[in-house]
């Protein structure tokens, strides 16, 4: 197994550290050729406009779409925005997942928060909440077609979705000590 982490901008190092800890070989993806031989790809949190513009500049858009046809991809926060089909704003998007997302919908940087997320599918039997960290996070407004919401906050806000082998989370599992979401993604491979 070899997992790529899109390393245009954002907190790719944090994802790599967790994968390293899990004994998974990783590759920083900055150019189309970096996608060769990967079994999956993570698109980190950061600034979706910057990630999108750099992906265009480095001719990554079509290679990423081709990769996504066959392989699992996980987008966290800005990564979720980048994967969404609908965001109601004009910026470069991979636009593969049938989800509607609203950027910065939880407020500004100072409104960042941590919430206990009860995501039963993460552990068999054990229902320890997942510490979900939201930083100027996008809201998952709707999951359509084959895309399904897989986790909600206690107030009903959808914060994670899956469409086949593609996963999105509006929070940052890479900023916690809890590696269950990373293990869940590896399980999709």
- What's the min distance (Å) between Cβ of 50 and ligand GLN? 8
Beta strand spans in 33-145 (E): 40-43, 73-76, 84-86, 97-102, 113-117, 130-134, 139-143
Nearest CB to ligand GLN, comparing residues 67 and 171: 171
- What's the min distance (Å) between Cβ of 161 and ligand GLN? 16
Range list of H helices, 23-136: 48-57, 61-70, 78-83
Q: Which residues bind ligand GLN (CB under 6 A)?
A: 45-48, 77-78, 81, 103-104, 135-136
Range list of H helices, 58-159: 61-70, 78-83
Nearest CB to ligand GLN, comparing residues 39 and 105: 105
Nearest CB to ligand GLN, comparing residues 77 and 117: 77
Catalytic residue among 8, 14, 174, 182: 174
- What's the min distance (Å) between Cβ of 154 and ligand GLN? 21
Rounded to whole angstroms, how far apart are CA atoms 45 and 76?
5
Rounded to whole angstroms, how far apart are CA atoms 80 and 97?
9
- Segment holding 92, helix H or strand E: none
Q: Can you state the angle between helices 180-187 and 12-21, rounded to 10 degrees?
A: 80
Nearest CB to ligand GLN, comparing residues 81 and 143: 81
- What's the min distance (Å) between Cβ of 76 and ligand GLN? 7
CB-neighbour burial class of residue 184 (10 A; exposed 0-12, middle 13-18, buried 19+): buried
Is 182 labeled as catalytic in the residue annotation?
no
Q: Please give the positions annotated as active site.
A: 77, 172, 174
């Amino acid at each position: 197994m070899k997992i790529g982490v899109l390393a245009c901008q954002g907190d790719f190092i944090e994802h790599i550290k967790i994968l390293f800890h899990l004994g998974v070989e990783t590759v920083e993806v900055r150019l189309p050729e970096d996608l060769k031989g990967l079994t999956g790809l993570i698109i980190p949190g950061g600034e979706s406009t910057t990630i999108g513009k750099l992906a265009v500049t480095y001719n990554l858009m079509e290679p990423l779409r081709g990769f996504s046809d066959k392989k699992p991809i996980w987008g966290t926060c800005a990564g979720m925005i980048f994967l969404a089909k609908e965001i109601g704003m004009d910026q470069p998007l991979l636009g593969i997942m049938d989800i509607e997302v609203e950027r910065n919908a939880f407020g500004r940087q100072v409104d960042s928060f941590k919430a206990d997320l009860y995501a039963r599918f993460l552990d068999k039997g054990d229902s320890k909440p997942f510490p979900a960290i939201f930083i100027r996070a996008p809201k998952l407004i709707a999951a359509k077609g084959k895309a399904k919401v897989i986790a909600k906050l206690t107030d009903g806000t959808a914060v994670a979705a899956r469409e086949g082998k593609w996963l999105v989370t509006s929070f940052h599992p890479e900023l916690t000590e809890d590696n269950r979401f990373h293990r869940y993604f590896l399980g999709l491979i």
